[in-house]
Amino acid sequence: MLRSTLPLIVLAFAAAPSFAQWKLDDAFKAAKPEDLKDVESTPPPKDAIVLFDGKSADAWTKKDGKSEVKWKIADGTWEGVKGHGDIVTKEKFGGKFKLHVEFRVPYEPTNKGQGRGNSGVYPQGRYEVQILDSYGLKSGKNDCAAIYDIYPPKTNECKAPTIWQSYDIEFTAPTFGTDGKKTEPTHMTVHHNGVKVHDDVKVEKDNTTAGMGGDPSKPGPILLQDHGHPVQYRNIWILQIK
């Protein structure tokens, strides 16, 4: 009898951690009810380029620029796969644009700091807006919605883990003179769940930690970071601004 039931017990135990990452337990206490409510999804404007529609990864490649993306797509969501590596858009973007990204982080209560739901969104592959489970924390420059290691968000607007959130990133690329010298740095405005947490800040660095680097005077892709956590994405689009 024991031998016949043991495989079932082992299977259930093995599946439990994965399931638990997307389900809050009784130990989790939300500060307010709206923190447990998904952000309302924002459909792309008429002239936007849809980068992820919940169905296809055709707009993306691995960071090497040629390999197929094999993150998991299911039920309109896209989940990062540990060890897969960062992914980038095939198209590159310069000038001024608005990038919309919807995401959610897993529930990893036994992890701490940078070990909880870590990922990131990099306009031009160079300037990271951090993704992290920073719910309920006093945010620093490495927490969720920070421009990584440069500016902390003005306020912590995180929803609870497992709950859908959004970034709207208004990005203006740096400008350079004919002599190749920078005349104006990158500017970024970031709305986290509809609240402005960075207001046209100047980003003097040409490449934040773990960015792709490259010539900052040239367009770059949008990069989503694989930091070893099953962060999920949906509804990603970009609107070029003239």
Contact 79, 72 (CB under 8 A): yes
Q: Each residue of 114-134: b (16+ CB within 10 Å) or e?
A: eebbbbbbbbbbbbbbbbbbb
Domain assignment present for 16: no
183 lies in some domain: yes
Is residue 66 in a domain? yes
Task: For residue 232, give the nearest of 137, 83, 150, 131 by alpha carbon.
Answer: 131
9 located within any domain: no
How buried is residue 137: exposed, middle or buried, by Cβ count under 10 Å (0-12/13-18/19+)? middle
Residue 21 confidence (pLDDT): 87
3-class DSSP state of 215? coil
Phi and psi at residue 137, to the nearest 5° = -95, 160
**Could you give the 3-state DSSP secondary structure of residue 239?**
strand
> For the chain, what is the domain count?
1
| Mean pLDDT in consecutive groups of 10 residues from the start of the chain, 242 residues | 39 39 94 98 97 97 95 95 95 98 96 92 98 96 98 98 98 97 98 98 96 97 95 98 92
Tell me what pLDDT residue 20 has: 54
For 69-93, letters b (16+ CB in 10 Å) and e give: bebebeeebbbbeeeebbbbbeeeb
Residue 128 falls within a domain, yes or no?
yes
Give the three-state DSSP class for 2. Answer: helix
What pLDDT does 11 receive? 35
Residue 221's Cβ-count burial label (10 Å; 0-12, 13-18, 19+) is buried
Which residue segment(s) compose the domain that 100 sits in?
Answer: 27-241
CATH of the domain at 195: 2.60.120.560
Residue pair 96/240 in contact (Cβ under 8 Å)? The answer is yes
The answer as to whether 35 is a domain residue is yes
Distance CA 106, CA 21 (A): 5
Q: What is the pLDDT of residue 2?
A: 42
> Would residue 215 count as lying in a domain?
yes
**198, part of any domain:** yes
The pLDDT assigned to 5 comes to 42
